[in-house]
Amino acid sequence: MYLLEFNWNPLTGIDIVGNFKIHFYSLMWVIAFVLGWNIMKRIFLREKVNIEYLDPLFIYTVLATMLGARLGHVIFYQPELFSQDFFSVFLPFRFNPVFEFSGFSGLASHGAAIGIIVAMYLYRKKYKYKSIMWILDRIVITVASGAVFIRIGNFINSEIIGKITDSPLGVRFIQEYYRKEEIVKLTGIQDYKKAYQAVTNNPQFQNLLEAVPYRHAAQLYEAFAYIFVFLILLYFYLKTNKGNQPGFLFGLFLILLWTVRFFVEFVKEAQNPERADWLLNTGQLLSIPFILIGLYFVFFYKQKQTN
């Protein structure tokens, strides 16, 4: 018996016109950014920082996150896109084999992290009201909150799925198992959305449902853990003096978030099938340097005094 036993077969967005669709995954990104802006606003007000610096910080963060996450995914997991469908690397459209609005898909958190760090450095070069470490120590609180919604978005999209399991936790990802063209062919229902619903709702297609294996809800494991990462950072910022120790919150964020990522990867399917038999997958290998950098900032970093 499965304690978390359900068939995941949701609508992934709202069709507007033609191939244009508002993806719920994209809405999760919007929620993450709006929540982050509000958290950072409260930090600015609490520390009496001129609120005029907030909107430029928001713009830098959004652009760095999206560009870094997209480039990170392509470089780390899908480098063939540079030659096969170059413009899809930078635009929310797929051009090959057919033109399609794809939304914000294929994004890597490691790339987003690198992008944000670079962007905060560039932002600090232009706006010199606080040190780069002050900015990083506070921006990570918002990043941790946003990570929760990004993983929920991944779950909605049935992507970054977990490995097959016979443990008491199991979810059937119907839309990941059957592609649109395949489910239309198997059910004989031309509307792929109705075809997907028939698999879970029509006893006639029980055999198709039973063919879908139960998997770990790795996205939800990660989202749940990130809630605690956010709360821990918030606690140290609000309730201790560690928020005033340059680099501490930034380092703690790197340790906590990437340690979560490292261990959750053990129950995820490899995003690059060619690396599925590696002892550690790409996500874990990329997480280790971030954890080591975090340890440095928590235990060894000393900020130089500047005027």
Q: What is the pLDDT along the chain (307 residues), one digit of tens a residue?
A: 445 567 888 776 666 655 556 778 888 999 999 999 999 999 999 999 999 999 999 999 999 998 998 888 888 888 888 878 777 777 767 777 777 766 656 778 889 999 999 999 999 999 999 999 999 999 999 999 999 999 999 999 888 899 999 877 789 999 999 998 999 999 999 988 899 999 999 999 999 999 999 999 999 999 999 999 999 999 999 999 998 999 999 999 999 999 999 999 999 988 766 666 777 888 899 999 999 999 999 999 987 654 4
| Per-residue pLDDT, 21 | 64
| Per-residue pLDDT, 230 | 98
283 contacts 261 by C-beta, under 8 angstroms: yes
Please choose, from the candidates 59, 40, 60, the residue with its C-alpha nearest in 3D space to the C-alpha of residue 50: 40
| Per-residue pLDDT, 87 | 75
**Pairwise CA distance, residues 207 & 97, whole Å:** 31
What is the rounded (10 degree) CA torsion for 53, 57, 60, 66?
-150
Phi-psi region of 160 (alpha: psi -120 to 50; beta: other; left: phi over 0): left
| Per-residue pLDDT, 168 | 75
Classify burial at 17, counting beta carbons within 10 Å of its beta carbon; exposed 0-12, middle 13-18, buried 19 or more.
exposed
Answering whether pTM is above 0.85, one says yes
**Pairwise CA distance, residues 161 & 265, whole Å:** 10
Specify the pairing of strand 169-173 against strand 100-101. Answer: unpaired
